[in-house]
Structure 1
Amino acid sequence: MLRPDYPIETARLTLRPFAAHDLDALYAYQRLPEVARYLYNDPRDRAATADVLARRRAVTTLERAGDILVLAVVVRESGALAGEVNLGWISEQHRQGEFGFVFDPAHHGRGYAREAAVEMLALGFDGLGLHRIVGRCDGRNTASARLMAGLGLRREAHFVRNELVKGEWTDEVVFAMLAEEWAARPRV
């Protein structure tokens, strides 16, 4: 079980559970075609975003395998919602997890995704005691692939045209890190 001590503070960011007042900022990027491009969902309307927000607000801990924790990433200096990071507990027996991130394009290129993703890996490895964490992305999403490689995850697989997403066959790239690699990584 993982009950993070909120808020989680980094040098520039605050990671916290989503709140009702996040709806407008969440909708502002969830509605964008460029945000949904490499995701399974289409751009969301306001009602669908409100439903997603309600589900995210309901999970603030990881209590059992199958749970997915999604945290709001807030730029402390401005108070702006920059995006979200997630950690899923895939298997208790095998101590497996998966992490991911989605950011508002207005906040791209500033290192926020990297800064927040490090905290999710820390929650998985140090907080939950996971043995292995994976990250997956559409094969065309070079920015996400570059971020995961930059975090020290190893590229383990490139599945060619393995998923039919939005009517199109897409590639999937899988990255992973083991607990011992996390412990041995260079500290920045």
Structure 2
Amino acid sequence: MRVEMPIRTERLVLRPLRAEDADALHAYHRREDVARYLYRPPLDREGCAKLIARSVESPEWGTTGADLGLAVCLRGQVIGETGLRLRSALAAQAEIGWVFAPEYAGHGYATEAARAVLAAAFGPLKVHRVYARLDADNKPSWRVCERLGMRREAYLVDSDVNPATGTWGSEYVYAMLAREFAG
């Protein structure tokens, strides 16, 4: 099962993450306002390189833990990333996620990119269910889920500790089944 690359949308190009993307990712992953919703401290450049390597060295799709990490490019510039992680090969369940540079927020890029990833998940990758876990305070991300037609399935109260702040955080879980996706 393969997805033809790159994936093109109306305004964006999604392509596999590459080692040379580390500086572009570091530009926003180093920011406190980005890391606060990721339940980890900001990343240094080496951390960004490891994030990319995890995707590049991922097992083939169809193996639990496979990671499809995609750079989201606007006019040739990396403005964020999105992707899927196959959480269960047996149950054909994948987790979707996205992270964007804050200066590109509010333009619909995350929704556009995530919609393309859902099309790949429910198309050539043959995923049955895609879900997103996100900080309940991250209103822009849960609004993306709702624009995509995902349903809120759970509200997990004080479900994780943010290691950067030591504070408890609550999460929403959104999901969609293949039969619910309208492309």
Pairwise TM-score range, normalised by the shorter structure: over 0.9
Partners of 1:65 and 1:46 lie apart in 2 by: 28
Partners of 2:22 and 2:168 lie apart in 1 by: 32
In 2 relative to 1, CA 66–51 (structure 1 residues): closer, same or farther, beyond 3 Å? closer
Aligned to 1:8: 7
- Quick check: 84-93 or 56-65, which moved more? 56-65
Partners of 2:13 and 2:60 lie apart in 1 by: 17
In 2 relative to 1, CA 72–116 (structure 1 residues): closer, same or farther, beyond 3 Å? same
Aligned to 2:179: 180
- 4+ long deviations beyond 3 Å: none
Q: Percent identity?
A: 44
CA shift for structure 1 position 114: 0.6
Aligned to 2:103: 106
Q: Conserved in 2, the CA contact under 8 Å of 1:60 and 1:69?
A: no
Q: TM-score, normalised by structure 1?
A: 0.90
Q: Conserved in 1, the CA contact under 8 Å of 2:13 and 2:73?
A: yes
Equivalent runs, 1:48-63 vs 2, <5 Å:
48-59=47-58, 61-63=60-62
CA shift for structure 1 position 176: 0.6
Q: Conserved in 1, the CA contact under 8 Å of 2:63 and 2:86?
A: yes
CA shift for structure 1 position 154: 0.4
CA RMSD of aligned residues (A): 1.5
Aligned to 1:125: 122
Partners of 1:60 and 1:10 lie apart in 2 by: 26
Aligned to 1:94: 91
- Quick check: 48-57 or 6-15, which moved more? 48-57
**How many residues were matched structurally?**
181
Q: Deviations over 1:52-91 (max 9, x none)?
A: 222233238524122121100001x3x1111000101121
Higher RCO (Cα < 8 Å, 6 or more apart)? 2
Partners of 1:49 and 1:107 lie apart in 2 by: 19
5+ residue gaps, structure 1: none
